[in-house]
Chains A and B, each alone.
Chain A
Amino acid sequence: MKFEPAKLKTPPTIIKAEAIVVGGGAAGCLAAIKLAQSGYQVIVVEKADIRRSGCLAAGVNALNAYIGRGKVPQDYVDYALADAHGIARRDLLLSIAERLNEQAAWLESAGLPILKDQDGRYAERSWRNVKINGENIKPLMAAAVAKTQGLNVLNRCRATHLLSDGVTVYGVAAFSPENNLFYHLQAPATIIATGGAAGLYRPNNHGSAPNRIWYCPFNTGAGLAMGIRAGAEMTTLEMRLVALRCRDTLAPTGTLALGAGARQVNALGRPFEGDYGRTTSQRVLAWRRETEAGRGPCRLAAEISADRREELYRAYLNMCPSQTLKWLEQAGPEPRPESGIFAEVEGSEPYVQGGHVGGGFWIDTNRQTTLTGLWAVGDAAGGAPQKYVTGSMAEGVIAAEDAAQYLQDFGRPAVSQTDQGRPQQLFQEALTDLTAQLKPDQALAPGRPRLQARDLGLALEKTMDLYAGGISAGYRYSSSELVMAATMVAELANLADKLSASSLFELSEIWELKERLTVARSLIAHLESRKETRWPGFGEYSDYPQIDPEFECFVNSRLEDNELKVFRRPMTRNNTYEHHR
């Protein structure tokens, strides 16, 4: 039986606002606060609860993007560009860099403890990096959101569609399994802040702990998928992040390395850092090459006193408690007098995101996407690696300022006078798309296998792992493997369209799978199109193992009539970039 939208128990809830922020993470919270402070009515749609959602749920260990003493924003731009082996947007990096320290100060005023030196200045872990107690960072942001007038949060509500005619965005469709409701959210301005995409590749841990990954497993690339489907342009998805982390727990390593001064050593006890270069990608490569040469396991080892080790335990409890638990399971209940600590390292499965690397929406300097009325920020936005928490927040603020300008130009009265027919029709299409897979009454065929979202998700991860440069493939892929990956992902996408859900909870599992499949399809096309190996630590194209100066450009893509068009865009040299519509 087909589920008719008209037969919904409760009709969809229609909410009108001046701006919608999709995703209440680091970038989304700041965008929403800034817009509301400018006097606009803002709705934040958040699939979890903004007090503990997204990448920041467990806590973070430092503010990784900051302009330290004696440095200027341009230094940050130069650093990030070099680290990305040239593939990054100067305009985006500069506008972030100019606002990083404001964001740190904002966090401090919101209650975040930041370590100070004797002069009362922030104590720097490196020139780009300040020390904090980041355990409570998300609740603090949420409290600031709660205090802001004109800002409403819809927790436990997941956005699924951009209401767009391919040119303009009129809002989003969303649903809440917990409240058993569909939502039609209408606004002239929409900001995508849904983070990046995990769950594309087979992870490090299998069996009972597949979600013990580094990136937030609940960021399933929703915003990217919505944008791709609506025809927005994407960039640099092929620059996947492979994160070098503590083995088993996938805990961050910065605290050990930068904070406690740990060095990477191979099984012979020889430090090998710098042997392969010092960019993020080269550091991952170093671990791989050492391991491939039979000199693993590699570890991060620090010679610290027993007291300082206790401090390290606390620091890890503030962001990845599993790592402290792991150390204590090894050490036993009594504090040990001898000095030193270590953690074995390993590379994660690849992620698509724009917070450490450059994958995401193609945006202009003001963070507008190629669709009118749509902005993208934080891990969902591409072209500006190394933004981290403060950079994501900065992008939220930049987008909010531009959206405020847009709303002002748009004219407030026009909000209620917009042609209501258009958004309504687009919403009905989205609702039909969603409810087509909602078949509560469908009987199970006895003795027949039932396809489930979860199993198709495993098939996707396996496909990507084997044929698109996952862990098992040593992060290597070839043209013929990518063809295989593309074929299988297309097949899985067809199967996903046929899945049926008996509740909105099941529908959200199906929807997350579809998001991952949509991002995977684009990712494969990007990997195929950059015919070189620019970031060998993140992945190696077997057919093209070298850097090719021809590819000193962006690889972008757009869906046109359900065909994925991949094309190149030249490097930008200016401090501003505008779309040419």
Chain B
Amino acid sequence: MSIIVNPDLCTGCGQCVQICPGGLLSLTFSSERSGSRTENLSNAQLTQTVGPAEIKGQVRINNPDCCWACAACLKECRFGALSLFLPPALGGRGASLTASASKDSVVWQVLFPDGRQRTIAVNRQIADRY
């Protein structure tokens, strides 16, 4: 497990579903969320089959164990609904990482278990010194 979704923030826009290099994410529909049915639909198909107005989906992590922790989905989500964490066996102690990406920067935020935060902004146009 590496990625978690905040259901309050996820709008079901499907961007992360498209981007994940492992195809690990899919959308579920609100009408079906209570049940167990999951549709593995791409974004394009959703617009075709359901129509944008009706989409009240949420992201679902189908194979949480298969996550590579590449953080592509984090950077793709415009709503900050996804975060990355380290399982305890890898040194995780309850903190999580979110990202907010724009054309020029990625603003990363670490949320510690005690509620404190640390923000690190990375300018996308500047090369690393290392």
Please, how many angstroms separate the alpha-carbon atoms of A213 and B68 in the complex?
A: 7
Q: Pick from B90, B106, B122 the residue with the most CB of A within 10 Å.
A: B90
Q: Which of B4-12, B13-21, B52-60 contacts A (4 or more CB under 8 A)?
A: B13-21
Answer whether residue A229 sits at the interface, using C-beta atoms and an 8 A cutoff: no
Closest to B125 in A: A113
Closest to A258 in B: B130
Point out the residue from B66, B70, B85 that lies within 8 Å of A58, measured CB to CB.
B70
Answer whether residue A557 sits at the interface, using C-beta atoms and an 8 A cutoff: no
Answer whether residue B23 sits at the interface, using C-beta atoms and an 8 A cutoff: yes
- Known A249-B90, A329-B95: A311·B130 in contact at CB below 8 Å: yes
Asked whether, in the complex, the Cβ of B120 is within 8 Å of the Cβ of A131, the reply is no
Q: How far in angstroms is the closest Cβ of chain B from A207?
A: 6
Question: Using Cβ atoms and an 8 Å threshold, which residues of chain A touch B71?
Answer: 58, 321
Question: Using Cβ atoms and an 8 Å threshold, which residues of chain A touch B72?
Answer: 52, 57-58
Asked whether, in the complex, the Cβ of A209 is within 8 Å of the Cβ of B128, the reply is no
Question: Using Cβ atoms and an 8 Å threshold, which residues of chain A touch B128?
Answer: 61-62, 115, 131-134, 255, 259, 311, 314-315, 318
- Known A321-B71, A333-B118: A54·B21 in contact at CB below 8 Å: yes
Please, how many angstroms separate the alpha-carbon atoms of A205 and B106 in the complex?
A: 28
Point out the residue from B90, B117, B125 that lies within 8 Å of A205, measured CB to CB.
B90
Point out the residue from A212, A217, A505 that lies within 8 Å of B40, measured CB to CB.
A505
Q: How far in angstroms is the closest Cβ of chain B from A129?
A: 11
Asked whether, in the complex, the Cβ of B23 is within 8 Å of the Cβ of A178, the reply is yes
Q: How many residues on the B side are at the interface (Cβ–Cβ under 8 A)?
A: 53
Answer whether residue B37 sits at the interface, using C-beta atoms and an 8 A cutoff: no
Question: Using Cβ atoms and an 8 Å threshold, which residues of chain B touch A35?
Answer: none
Could you tell me which residues of chain A, from 195 to 210, have a CB within 8 Å of some CB in chain B? 205-210
Asked whether, in the complex, the Cβ of B93 is within 8 Å of the Cβ of A321, the reply is no
Asked whether, in the complex, the Cβ of B106 is within 8 Å of the Cβ of A317, the reply is yes
- Known A322-B86, A328-B110: A312·B125 in contact at CB below 8 Å: no
Please, how many angstroms separate the alpha-carbon atoms of A321 and B63 in the complex?
A: 20
Answer whether residue B50 sits at the interface, using C-beta atoms and an 8 A cutoff: no
Closest to A133 in B: B127
In the complex, 25 of the A-B residue pairs with CB atoms within 8 angstroms, ordered by the A residue number, are A48-B20, A51-B19, A52-B72, A57-B21, A58-B71, A113-B124, A135-B122, A136-B124, A177-B23, A178-B45, A206-B89, A208-B87, A209-B87, A211-B22, A212-B68, A249-B69, A311-B129, A315-B129, A318-B122, A321-B99, A321-B108, A322-B84, A324-B97, A324-B120, A329-B91
Interface residues of A (CB under 8 A from B): 47-49, 51-54, 57-58, 61-62, 113-115, 123, 125, 131-136, 155-156, 177-179, 205-213, 216-218, 248-249, 255-256, 258-260, 308, 310-315, 317-318, 320-322, 324-326, 328-330, 332-333, 503, 505
Interface residues of B (CB under 8 A from A): 1-2, 18-23, 40-42, 45, 64-72, 74, 76, 84-87, 89-93, 95-97, 99, 106, 108, 110, 112, 116-118, 120, 122-130
Q: Give 7 closest A-B pairs by Cβ, nearest first.
A: A259-B130, A115-B127, A58-B70, A52-B72, A248-B90, A315-B128, A333-B116
